[in-house]
């Protein structure tokens, strides 16, 4: 995971509250087997509308999303964070985030910065007056700068530390690899192993075939 201490990029004002994860990425995209390439899926339901903010040239290259309150509610899909990151967003600013979304973001290097709603409004005003204005998110100082607006934001210390160190969950755990190895050495012999595989003798499995239906039975 890339280290995050400060980021500057075009701010995108998303004047909507309660943007749930279905709106961030609709369920049809969940069938994919990859974890990258979701940029086209981001806000898919809105992207067809030429007026939609990301369809306007000035905001297209945005990397700081400035959203209304209650961002990321609904289903816990991690794809919501993937889609935002794949599009190029590094930070989302909002007055309130859904817990699971915030948790998923922190784990994957997307900063979910919590601001006061009136500060969000100030930033929206700047971004709408001068489209394409850059926003700087300073994680070390916990400040957001946008033109002449400088406001504080909140992020919990643990998440902040992880982002600044660039540690994903796995990286964090692997810092304790010696302890894992020591634990493994103490595991009892009876605990199961899947390999080498043991099983009953292989038997041929015969394929079932569709039932041919007649008369009253023909339901499907």
Partner 1 sequence: MAGTLAEKVWDAHIVRRGTDGAPDLLYIDLHLVHEVTSPQAFEGLRLAGRPVRRPDLTIATEDHNTPTLDIDRPIADLTSRTQIQTLRNNAAEFGVRLHSLGDADQGIVHQVGPQLGLTMPGLTVVCGDSHTSTHGAFGALAFGIGTSEVEHVLATQTLPLAPFKTMAITVDGTLPPGTTSKDIILAIIAKIGTGGGQGYVLEYRGEAIRALSMEARMTICNMSIEAGARAGMIAPDETTFEYLKGRPHAPEGADWDAAVDYWRTLRSDDDAVFDAEVVLEASDLEPFVTWGTNPGQGLPLSARVPVPAEIADENERVAAERALEYMGLEPGTPLRDIPVDTVFIGSCTNGRIEDLRSVAKVVQGRRKAESVRVLVVPSSARVRLQAEAEGLDKIFLDFGAEWRNAGCSMCLGMNPDQLAPGERSASTSNRNFEGRQGKGGRTHLVSPLVAAATAIRGTLSSVADLGADVVPPDGSPLTDVRGDLQHA
Say how far apart CA 149 and CA 140 lie, in whole Å. Answer: 18
Of the listed pieces 42-50, 84-92, 141-149, 194-202, which binds partner 1 according to CB under 8 A? Answer: 194-202
Half-sphere exposure of 187 (CA within 13 A, CB side): 11
Residue among 118 and 216 whose Cβ is closer to partner 1: 216
Q: Is 156 in the site for partner 1 (CB under 8 A)?
A: no
Q: Cβ–Cβ contacts within 10 Å for residue 37, how many?
A: 12
* 100 φ/ψ sector (left φ>0, alpha ψ -120 to 50, else beta): alpha
Q: Is 201 in the site for partner 1 (CB under 8 A)?
A: yes
b/e map of 59-71 (b: 16 or more CB within 10 Å)? Answer: beebbbbbbbebb
Q: Is 185 in the site for partner 1 (CB under 8 A)?
A: no
Q: Measured between alpha carbons, how far is residue 122 from residues 9, 47, 126, 129 in Å?
A: 17, 25, 7, 11
Say how far apart CA 24 and CA 39 lie, in whole Å. Answer: 11
Which H or E element spans position 91?
A: strand 91-94
Q: Is 198 in the site for partner 1 (CB under 8 A)?
A: yes
Number of residues that bind partner 1 (CB under 8 A): 48
Of the listed pieces 32-40, 43-51, 126-134, 142-150, which binds partner 1 according to CB under 8 A? Answer: 32-40
Q: Which of 57, 192, 212, 214 binds partner 1 (CB under 8 A)?
A: 192
Q: Are strands 6-14 and 64-67 parallel, antiparallel or unpaired?
A: parallel
The CB-of-59 to partner 1 minimum distance in angstroms stands at 29
Binding mask 115-154 for partner 1 (x = CB under 8 A): ----------------------------------------
Of the listed pieces 11-19, 31-39, 86-94, 117-125, which binds partner 1 according to CB under 8 A? Answer: 31-39
Contact residues toward partner 1 (CB under 8 A) are 31, 33-36, 76, 78, 104, 107-108, 158, 169-170, 172-174, 176-177, 179-180, 183-184, 187-195, 197-203, 205, 207-211, 216-217, 219-220
């Amino acid at each position: 995971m890339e280290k995050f201490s400060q980021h500057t990029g075009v701010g995108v004002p998303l004047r909507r509250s309660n943007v749930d994860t279905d709106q961030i990425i609709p369920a049809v995209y969940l069938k994919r087997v990859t974890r990258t390439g979701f940029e086209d899926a981001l806000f898919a339901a809105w992207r067809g509308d030429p007026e939609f903010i990301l369809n306007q040239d000035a905001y297209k290259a945005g990397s700081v999303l400035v959203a209304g309150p209650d961002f990321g509610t609904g289903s816990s899909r991690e794809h919501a964070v993937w889609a935002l990151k794949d599009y190029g967003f590094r930070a989302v600013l909002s007055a309130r985030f859904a817990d699971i979304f915030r948790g998923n973001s922190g784990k994957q290097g997307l900063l979910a910065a919590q601001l006061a709603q009136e500060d969000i409004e100030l930033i929206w005003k700047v971004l709408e007056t001068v489209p394409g204005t850059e926003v700087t998110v300073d994680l070390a100082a916990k400040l957001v700068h946008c033109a002449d607006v400088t406001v504080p934001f909140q992020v919990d210390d643990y998440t902040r530390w992880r982002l600044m160190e660039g540690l994903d969950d796995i990286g964090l755990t692997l810092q304790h690899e010696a302890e894992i190895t020591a634990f493994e050495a103490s595991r009892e012999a009876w605990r199961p192993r899947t390999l080498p595989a043991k099983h009953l003798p292989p038997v041929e499995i015969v394929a079932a075939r569709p039932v041919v239906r007649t008369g009253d039975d023909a339901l499907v």
